[in-house]
């Protein structure tokens, strides 16, 4: 079942077009990596899927009772966000905001969901810690737990391992794979082409060339061959 279908998307800002005629679909349980040149519109695409900005043209269809508000999102962190003065529990719980509705306070179910996801990601012992005192890898686990509080259907991850050391990077990739194996659809922007073809099921390449298909077909494509050489990203 397709959870998400994009048809003839044109993305950009006012008079600036970043990419156009972008069509692809994402099946339930898929693991899609979005790759391509800097400035090609990868982050813009992700914001558009979340309805944080409108496409210049084209359509986005949500299925499987999925809406933009039911998608978990882990954006790239800014310096200000890394210094956020809140507890780990407060940051994770904020992922339940969409469930508040007209209520002013989080329900017992929302609080349990926050604790369950901290346990799920191995950070329950950090619940009372200040977020800004954590390591980069711990902060990413907190943000991933926050994203999981918003959904059990789909996660959108924008460069989730940026700035992490190799060991923590591998741990994060394995954690994301585990969530995907549990049935959560993953859409991830990545500059790490080696890990993209290792973990993903499908690749969306946007930029000077366009490709959408399986990892194996991507390796054989002209877009893929320009990025892959000797098992390393160019």
> In the 3-class helix/strand/coil scheme, how is 51-95 assigned residue by residue?
CCCCCCEEEEEECCCCCHHHEEEECCCCHHHHCCCCEHHHHHHHH
**Is the pLDDT reported for residue 112 higher than 80?**
yes
Query: Considering only 92-101, 161-170, 193-202, 208-217, which range has the smallest mean pLDDT?
Result: 92-101
The predicted model gives 154-164 an average pLDDT of 93
Give buried/exposed letters for 127-138 (b at 16+ CB in 10 A, else e): beeebeebebbb
| Per-residue pLDDT band at 234 (split at 50, 70, 90) | very low
Helix (H) or strand (E) holding 169: helix 166-181
Query: Considering only 20-29, 181-190, 218-227, which range has the smallest mean pLDDT?
Result: 218-227
The predicted model gives 106-130 an average pLDDT of 94
The predicted model gives 148-166 an average pLDDT of 92
Cα–Cα distance measured from residue 57 to residue 47, given in angstroms and rounded to the nearest whole number: 15
66 versus 138: the higher-pLDDT residue is 138
Cβ neighbours, 10 Å, residue 16: 9
| Per-residue pLDDT band at 169 (split at 50, 70, 90) | very high
pTM of model > 0.85: yes
Query: Considering only 48-57, 102-111, 211-220, which range has the smallest mean pLDDT?
Result: 102-111
Q: How far apart are the first and last CA of the chain?
A: 34
Cβ neighbours, 10 Å, residue 35: 26
How large a percentage of the chain has pLDDT more than 70? 93
- Confirm if 137 and 171 have CB atoms less than 8 A apart: yes
Q: What is the pLDDT of residue 80?
A: 52
| Per-residue pLDDT band at 230 (split at 50, 70, 90) | very low
| Per-residue pLDDT band at 221 (split at 50, 70, 90) | very high
53 versus 234: the higher-pLDDT residue is 53
Helix (H) or strand (E) holding 172: helix 166-181
Cα–Cα distance measured from residue 37 to residue 226, given in angstroms and rounded to the nearest whole number: 11
């Amino acid at each position: 079942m397709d959870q998400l279908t994009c048809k003839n998307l044109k993305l950009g800002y006012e008079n600036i077009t970043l990419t156009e005629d972008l069509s692809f679909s994402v099946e339930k349980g898929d693991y899609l990596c979005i790759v391509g040149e800097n400035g090609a519109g990868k982050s813009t695409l992700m914001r558009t899927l979340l309805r944080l900005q409108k496409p210049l043209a084209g359509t986005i269809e949500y299925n499987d009772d999925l809406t933009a508000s039911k998608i978990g999102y882990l954006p790239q962190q800014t310096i200000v966000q890394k210094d956020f003065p809140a507890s780990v529990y407060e940051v994770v719980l904020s992922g339940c905001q969409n469930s508040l509705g007209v209520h002013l306070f989080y329900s017992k179910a929302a609080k349990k969901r926050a604790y369950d996801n901290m346990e799920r990601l191995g950070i329950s012992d950090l619940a009372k810690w200040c977020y800004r005192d954590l390591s980069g890898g711990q902060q990413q686990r907190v943000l991933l737990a926050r994203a999981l509080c918003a959904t059990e259907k789909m996660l959108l991850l924008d460069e989730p391992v940026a700035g992490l050391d190799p060991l923590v990077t591998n741990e994060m990739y394995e954690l994301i794979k585990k969530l995907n194996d549990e049935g959560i659809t993953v859409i991830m922007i990545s500059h790490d082409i080696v890990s993209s073809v290792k973990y993903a099921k499908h690749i969306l390449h946007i930029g000077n060339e366009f490709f959408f298909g399986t990892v194996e077909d991507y390796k054989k494509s002209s877009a893929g061959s320009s990025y892959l050489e000797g098992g390393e990203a160019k």
